[in-house]
Every structure is written in C-alpha cells, then in structure tokens.
Amino acid sequence: MTSLLDNLNEPQHAAVTLPAEHALILAGAGSGKTRVLTTRIAWLISTGQVSPSGILAVTFTNKAAKEMQTRLAAMLPINVKGMWIGTFHGLCNRLLRAHYRDAGLPQLFQILDSADQLSSVKRMMKALNVDDEKFPPRELCHFINAQKEQGLRASAVEAWDSWAKKKVELYAAYEAQCQREGVVDFAELLLRSYELLTRNEPLLRHYQERFRHILVDEFQDTNKLQYQWLKLLAGQQTALFCVGDDDQSIYAFRGADVSNMRDFEREFHVKHLIRLEQNYRSHGNILDAANAIIQNNPQRLGKNLWTHAGSGEPIRVYEAYADNDEARWIVEEVKALVRDGHMRAEIALLYRSNAQSRALEHALFNAGIPYRVYGGLRFFERAEVKHALAYLRLIANENDDTAFARVVNFPVRGIGARSLEALQDAAKAANSSFFAAIPQVSGKGGTSLAAFAQLIHQLREAVHLPLPELIDHVLDLSGLRTHYQNEKEGQERLANLDELINAAASFIAEEGTPSEEGELSADLAAFLSHASLEAGEHQAGEGDDALQLMTVHSAKGLEFNMVFISGLEEGLFPHENSVNDTRNGNNGLEEERRLMYVAVTRARQRLYLSIAQSRMLHGQTRYNIPSRFLDEIPKELMKWLTPKVDKSAFAAPQGDLLRGVSSAPTFYGRSGSGGSSSSGTEHGEFYSAPVARAADRNGLQIGMNVHHAKFGDGMIVSLEGSGADARAQVNFKHAGVKWLATSIAKLDVI
C-alpha cells in the first residue's frame, strides 16, 4: 500500500486518501489528475474499503478508459476488464444490455453512429415526404440530440410556431422509427438508461447499493443529462469523486456545462475541495502566462499553477505583416528547431479555426516539411473544399465523371439513385461521359439532370472572372454556401470555403501575371493541379517524424515540447462571435479565454505566439489588431522578435477592425514608440514587421490608388523605409498583396 502512495505530492496524497465522502478535485493542466484517479481506485481496493465491483469510473474517451485500466492492472493483481470503467456511452450501453427488457429494447439492439443516424433521419423524412431543404436532415439530427441531452422526449418539447412544431413531430416520428427497428443513437443511450433508472426503483436501489464510489474524469465537460445521471446513481450513500478543471471547459458548443462543478459543490455540500496546482509539464514562464490570462475570468473556482522546473525560456512573440509572412516565419523557425536536434513530432502548430491551416499547409508544402493534421483533414481533403473543387473541375472539364458524381446531387437537387443508374447505363451504351449522356435520360430524373447541366453551363459563363471571384461565384450559384449556412456547425465549413478563395488569390499572386480575359481557364487548370498536388504530397506516413497541426480544441489533453499559437488577433482569437455569445449563461469571451489557457498549457519548453497585421478573408485583405490575450500576459514574460505594436496607432475603431475594414488603412502601422529595429534570436535575424508612417515615400502615401504595368490597379496599404530603401505594400485587385521597391517598381498614381 505504501508503494501506491510513493512519489505523490501533498495535495495528490490528500486527494487519494480522502474518506468516503463527496469530493471535488480541481486538477490543473499537467498536474497528474489521471494518476490521482487511478491511484485513488487502487488505494480504495487495496485497503479493503470497496471491492472492484463497487467502483464506477467514468471517462470521456475510450483512450482514457483504456489507460486507466492499464495503470490499474499494473498496480493491482486483479482482472480489471470486469470493472465498470468506461465512457458515459459505454457504461450506459452495458447497463441497457443487462436490462434490455426493462428498457423496452430487443436483446440485440443496434447502436447508430452519427452517419447511421443521419441516414435514418433521411429515410424517415423521405417516407413522410418532408422537404429536406426546409428541414435539413443534419440540422434535424442536431435538434434531436440536443433535446435528448436536455432529457426531453418529443412529447415534452415546447414549440411555439409551426416550424418548431414540425421539428417536434419529426422528432416523434424518428423515435417511433428507432423503436420499431430496435436501434438507438448515442444520445439515446444516456437518455434511455436515465429513464430506466428513474422508472425502476428496485433497479436503481440495486445500483446505488452496488456502487459505493463513483469517480468522474473531466467533470467540467459533463452536460446537463450526464450530471443528472451521476446524481441519480450516487443516491444518498455513494461517494462522488469528481476531477476536473473549470479553466479547461471549452466544449460549450457540444452542450458541456461548466456550472455543473459549482452546482455539485453546492448540492452535495462538498467538504473536500482539493486543488492540484503543481504542474509537471511546463516551465514557469509558460505557467505564469497561463495564470495571468485565466485570472481575467471572474467566474472560476480558482487555482494557480506552479512548477519546480524553473522559469525556462521567455515566450517568443512575432508580429508578421501578413498571414503568408506569419506562415513563412513559422516554417523557418521549425527548420531551425529541427536543425538543433528537435523532433518534428514534438512541435505543434495550433490555430483557432480550421481554415487557418491552409496558409500554414501551403508554406510547409513548399518547404517540403512533412506534417500531420491531428483530429481533422488536410485543407484540400476537407469535404466542403472537395465539393467546391469538383464544381471547378466540371467548369474546366465537363467530362470529369469523378467530379460529376460528387456534386450532381450535392447540395440535394432531387437526383436519386435510380436516375443516376439510368445515366450510367446511357453513358456506357454511348461510350461517353456522364455529362454527355444527360440528354439520353428521360422523365423526372432527366429533367433534374438537365437542370444540373444548365447550372454547369451558367458557371462556365463566368470563366472570364478573376479566379478568386470565379470561386466566390461558384460557391453562391452552386448552393454550397446556402447548404452549409443551414447546418448547426456549418460556420467552420463556410470558413474553409472562404479560405479556398484566399488560396486562389494567393496562388495567382505567387504565380505571377493573371491571364488575359478569355484565358483564365489556364489559371483555373493550374490552380486545380496545385490543389491536387498539395493534397497528396508530404503526407506523413504512420510512425514518421512529422510536424503536428491542429485546432486548439483538438489539442486538449496533448502536450508538446514546442508549441506555436498563430493568429492571435482580435476577431480571430478571441473569435468575433464570442463577444455576444452567452451560451449556458456564460460569456463567450470567457470560453475563448479558457481556450487560450488550454493552448498555452500545451507547451512544455518553448512557446511561440504570432500575429498577422493583415490576413486574407473572403479573398480580401483584412487588417487586424493584436489579441487582448497578449495584453494579459505580463511583459517581462515575453520576448518580442519584432517591435511591439502600439494599439493606439490604429486609427480605426475596434468594431470596424473586427469587421475587416479594407479601405485606406492608416491604422495599419505603429507609433514611433513601438521601436524601430527587430530583435534577434539564436537562429539569426528575423524579418522586422513593417513600420508604416504617414509621411511620403518617393511621393507615395498610404491609401493612394496606383497602377502597375504587370499587376494592374491596386491600393497602397503600407509603406516602410525611405529613399532607395523605400517599399510599398500594394493590395492589387487581381494579383493580391505585394511588396514593391518604390525606387524600381513604376507605380502610377490614379
């Protein structure tokens, strides 16, 4: 027994050896919470306080449950596989299997995953002849799951208008269909098991008496129904041991309710609240920065991370003049780290939004650095991007059957499997492409196919537009934008579609002079080739030493020696939607700050933060101010690799900046107090972000409209240097943003 408690610090020891009472353990990032949980179980069993069958341990992932079982097996000479250790869904499934009759289910009931649930909803709607444009199936799935997570059956859902009443009717029809077929979805597992226990008192009493100790991991991520389920099982005698970190509650969009922690403390009269504050992951400067950021959230239970590992290196901050410069700097820094002997797998690039990965991926691709997108797909492999590219491929070549098959009925336009089968047969008989065979298909299916062909012809008529504008036009006319606007989680997909426009603008800018009118199809073909190559190259194989790219949400629970957090700008991180977001009674900005806290605490040794003064959005340049989170980090913890921006230099109101003002950007630069030279690093001198001033440079001024013989018309958005060293940054209408030496480039004021 003594060996179990060896090497535990004082708070960990206190948590493990608590009496059989309700307890809340505030476990900070890297404080050893998994160790505390597993050691607590082992200690309870080894001291004879409870048998293995009297333990219920709940985690949020199968990986965490497996890790807990592995650690317990190493601590105790028992068979841990029979213990009730698992996720909410896994444990509820086990409960329902054991009591399927009482739950009103067949013995061999099947579980629908997300894709199966969507198919089931679509089938139900088709049978009821429901318009899937007015009631998108995916959106209906989200609605059904949200009601179940609130513990509400269709009969209990309030509806005040005809549209809401119809959704409730469809929810009821879906329930009836699932019951008839003997299937349950993920949300149903928890709701059905909760209902089973509430309606069957002898069964409830049995499990309350059986489980003397319930231990919960990641308690801050529980939703309303999960908390109710735990309360039900705990009863009056069972000890609830909840481990969590309210500062890492970042899943409100999934229904997680951080207020469960405060409710638990109040409702269960928790006497034992233990804070695990010693961090075994990160150096002191990183932890001090995280503490400083999160203390600006008023509604928290409170803790302060510290370490014995020393202060470590300062946090490096780089301010780029544009997003492509930011990506270039990150790539150069990664190269330097690898040269110094660091593994690429121990370096992570984090970003707030998936769409940000595009510029980073492009830079890594050009540099030949292998990388892996964790918890998601590479940019050009994402479904919505591939849909958009398929339309572009059909514009370039209407005989591309692969592209045709992908989007002929996406978004849904009433072209069913039977019509496609008839088209396939006609194409085979005529030895032609699907597109060419459309006139051979008759009936309603033929009419729908002909309408699709007309759509492609319409899109092709816009081929004279600059490539970014062409893509924007395709996204609108194809219906892709409208389709994703109707999805609950469609904002991320819409952001990726907008980033595709940015990718096209960057491609044209990098490749040189845009084609003449009528020749743009050549640019389109080149861009499609570029997209295909970037999608397929440098994909790291299993086990390869590869750079890790991921969103901050995906990074939770992971740790790396070196971490880059990019895009630290107002409107991006924190996200502009967070200011007015009050989900679950919580300010959205507080959740963004928790997200930043999670991002910072992923780093063990070195942390990099980066800002881009301008960033492409919707194919246009957007000018930014640094994130407020940078202001919340003490100055002495940071090392600016470029002169620190003075926010007072930004003349535009913050609200305009957040909306992405792209008119005369006098707010783009800095005041003289920001410094004039770049700091260096051990890897050499870094490029200094431009210092724009109001003074003339060779007769040019910020905001002037100019013409260039090669790049066409544009606007000067920044100036730096003087005399022979003067440079102008010009946002060209067709060629994108470019830096030009004013002593060499001929810029005519227009």
**3-class secondary-structure state, position 561:** strand
At 231, the amino acid letter reads: K
Could you confirm whether 33 is annotated as catalytic? yes
Residues in a beta bridge with 626: 569
CA separation for the pair 133, 128 (Å, rounded): 14
CA separation for the pair 629, 574 (Å, rounded): 8
Other CB atoms closer than 10 Å to residue 504's CB: what's the count? 25
Could you confirm whether 361 is annotated as catalytic? no
Residues 143, 145, 147, 150: what is their CA dihedral angle, to the nearest 10 degrees? Answer: -140
CA separation for the pair 584, 258 (Å, rounded): 9
CA separation for the pair 58, 243 (Å, rounded): 10
Set 149, 185, 188, 218: catalytic member? 218
DSSP state of 584: G
DSSP output for 489-509: THHHHHHHHHHHHHHHHHHHH
Closest of 127, 125, 128 to residue 141, by C-alpha: 125
CA separation for the pair 499, 379 (Å, rounded): 9
Closest of 572, 583, 383, 564 to residue 483, by C-alpha: 383
Could you confirm whether 605 is annotated as catalytic? no
Set 17, 34, 69, 620: catalytic member? 34
- Look up residue 574 and give its two tokens: 């924190």
C-alpha dihedral sign at 104, 110, 116, 120: negative
Closest of 196, 186, 267 to residue 227, by C-alpha: 267
Set 556, 594, 602, 615: catalytic member? 602
Q: From residue 298, how far is each of 24, 129, 586, 590 by CA, in Å?
A: 20, 50, 11, 9
Q: From residue 526, how far is each of 355, 421, 456, 523, 564 by CA, in Å?
A: 22, 33, 20, 5, 32
CA separation for the pair 216, 56 (Å, rounded): 8
Set 149, 185, 188, 217: catalytic member? 217
Closest of 402, 394, 502 to residue 452, by C-alpha: 394
- Look up residue 173 and give its two tokens: 């029809």
Residues in a beta bridge with 63: none
Set 248, 307, 642, 742: catalytic member? 248
Q: Find out whether 547 and 604 touch, Cβ atoms under 8 Å.
A: no
Could you confirm whether 248 is annotated as catalytic? yes
Strand 638-640 to 315-320 pairing: parallel
Q: Which residues are catalytic?
A: 33-34, 217-218, 248, 602
